[in-house]
Every structure is written in structure tokens, then in C-alpha cells.
Amino acid sequence: MASIITHSMRAFLVILITHLPVLVLSRTLEHTHTHTNIHPHSNPPLSFKSLRSLEGLRKGQTAKGLSNLKRYLNRFGYLNSDDGSDYFDEVLESAVKHYQQNYNLNATGKLDYGTMKNMVVPRCGVRDSGLHGHESINGSLYSFFDGNPKWPSEQTHLTYKFSSAVQPVSLDVFRSVAAQAFAEWQRHSQFTFEEVQPLSRSDLTLGFFVGDHGDGFPFDGSYNILGHAFSPTNGRLHLDGDETWTVGVPSDVDLFSVVLHEIGHLLGLAHSLDQNAVMYAQYTPAAIKRTLIQDDIDGIRALYSTP
């Protein structure tokens, strides 16, 4: 019994000690992340479910809850400003059209069934930055963050560590899944990755958090937003500790698929329009992703100009 208490106290202390620097760091790094037009700490979680009640609305109408839609579209990069009103104006219509184009829906600007159904699919919390409809020249559908942030060319060996506020899966499982996901990116890019001890300095830090966890992008309970990661060279990758994370079972939220996706952000890839790409923003249990596809590989190689 005594040894169990000692062990759990030690685990708690390790979590506490390793978590504190992240919180401090997150405040000093605010200016480096790529999410614009969002004010940290004035940003309550989005309610995806409530969006369904807006089905059928179109330009010119006023309806309670349209302000939630504006927050959603602002959060994910389709509306530059959110006026907080429940009026469906021209700006909102064009944002809806842009969203519909990116998700291969009829770009009507109306809140039809397909659009509202699409909006409640669980997804990554990173905005669909750099996506402007199907306009790519060479047919590729990957994208980069605004300004193409990336790791300096001499920095191809990146270290990572784990620092979580909660532990929905054991550290051993998390460590093993992350190692496999890093290996997949390593196979197709110039990067090599190495885990370092929790108290060491690292380029990347991965962890589970719940609700408002201090970086201005609160998590929201199960489903909705599953995780997010910051563009280079920030290095933070956060997973929503309220999800039912699964490993190797095609149900609920597949830890490997989401970690593989979020690592792409750490390296500088934004969302792809290719539904089969690891970097596609949405997650569905039916489409678990274990390997990078050509679009992901083309994206990382284009960003770092490797053949």
C-alpha cells in the first residue's frame, strides 16, 4: 500500500512539475501562433450540436444562434471578424460558400442539410488556414499556414517530450503511439525525431488537456474538437483529454490517426482538401488513417523543398 501511494504521488508530482513550464511558456509564445483574430481567454468552447438548429437559414434572415455559426466560421478561418450578431448578412453568406467549396458541398451560401451535417463532424481545432477553394495549380490539395512558417533548414533533428494535465491513456501507450506516428513522418521527410526526458528542453511537447488549458483555444468535452497543434517553431501538440481515445480499435477516436495529423501541423502543414489525406481537418472513425498519402508527402516535401 505504502509503495502504491508513493508511486502515485510521484506520478502526480511529475505531471505537476512538467506541466507548469508549459503553462508559463504558452503565455510567452502567444505571439508566435498562427491563429489570428481570436482573443485568448475570451473564447468559450464552441457548441457544434447547436449549429444543427440553424438548418434552412439563408441571407437576410435573423435567427437566434447565428452568432454561434459566426464564431465557428471565425474560429476555423472563414470569417475575419465576428460581429456577434444573429443577422445573416452578405459577409456570412460568402463565408458559408467558402466553407462549402472547401468541403466539396454545393456552394449555395445557404445552411442546407449537408452543410450543417458537415459542420458537426469531429475535427481538428486548427483553422483551415490557407485554403481558398479548389484553386491549386498542380492539382495538389495540401496547404501551409499563412506565411509558410517552417523549421530552419539546419534543424532537421527534432526532440520531443510528453507533458499532460490529464492521463486518459497510459504514458506507455501514448509514448508508443507517438513514436510510430513520428516514424511515419520520418519515413517521408527530412526529419528525424527523438524523445527526451520530461525535464529536458525539447523542440516539441505533446500532452492531453481538458477545457480551457491556458492557450486561448479551449477544448470542449467529447467529440467536436479532438486536438490542435501549433505551427513551427512553436512545438506544442495538445489532445482533448475528454475524448474516449482508442488504440488499434476502429471505434471512438483513434489516437494514432489524430497524433499523426497533429504532427503534420508541428512540421508546418495546414489542412488539406483531400478527404483521404492525413491532413484533412475532419475525423471519422470509419476512415482511420495510419499512413501518409501522396498529398501529405507532396506537401511536406514542397514546404521543405526536398525532392
Q: Under the rule (CB under 5 A), what is the footprint of Zn ion?
A: 124, 126, 215, 238
Nearest partner of 82 among 97, 94, 92, 93, judged by Cα: 92
Q: Which three cell numbers stand for residue 278?
A: 492525413
Q: Nearest approach, Cβ of 230 to Zn ion (angstroms)?
A: 8
| Angstrom distances, CA of residue 93 to CA of 23, 100, 171 | 38, 10, 45
209 CB-side CA count, 13 A: 26
Nearer to Zn ion, 72 or 88 (CB): 72
228 marked ligand binding residue: yes
Q: Nearest approach, Cβ of 271 to Zn ion (angstroms)?
A: 6
Q: Nearest approach, Cβ of 126 to Zn ion (angstroms)?
A: 4
Is the torsion defined by CA of 35, 280, 81, 47 positive or negative? negative
130 marked ligand binding residue: no
203 marked ligand binding residue: yes
Q: Nearest approach, Cβ of 228 to Zn ion (angstroms)?
A: 6
Nearer to Zn ion, 109 or 149 (CB): 149
Nearer to Zn ion, 54 or 297 (CB): 297
261 marked ligand binding residue: yes
* Residue number, nearest CB to Zn ion: 124
Is the torsion defined by CA of 276, 279, 281, 283 positive or negative? positive
Q: Which residues pair with 159 in a beta bridge?
A: 194
Residues with a known catalytic role: 262
240 marked ligand binding residue: yes
Contact 235, 21 (CB under 8 A): no
132 marked ligand binding residue: no
| Angstrom distances, CA of residue 79 to CA of 74, 88, 228, 257 | 4, 13, 19, 28
Contact 250, 281 (CB under 8 A): no
Number of H helices, E strands in the chain: 7, 7
Q: Nearest approach, Cβ of 99 to Zn ion (angstroms)?
A: 15
Nearer to Zn ion, 215 or 274 (CB): 215
Q: How many residues does the chain have?
A: 307
Cβ atoms < 10 Å from Cβ of 295: 21
C-alpha radius of gyration, the chain, whole number: 20
Chain-centre distance of CA 177, in angstroms?
Answer: 17
Nearer to Zn ion, 126 or 204 (CB): 126
Residue list, annotated binding site for Zn(2+): 124, 213, 215, 228, 238, 261, 265, 271, 279
Residue list, annotated binding site for Ca(2+): 203, 220-221, 240, 243
Residue list, annotated binding site: 124, 203, 213, 215, 220-221, 228, 238, 240, 243, 261, 265, 271, 279
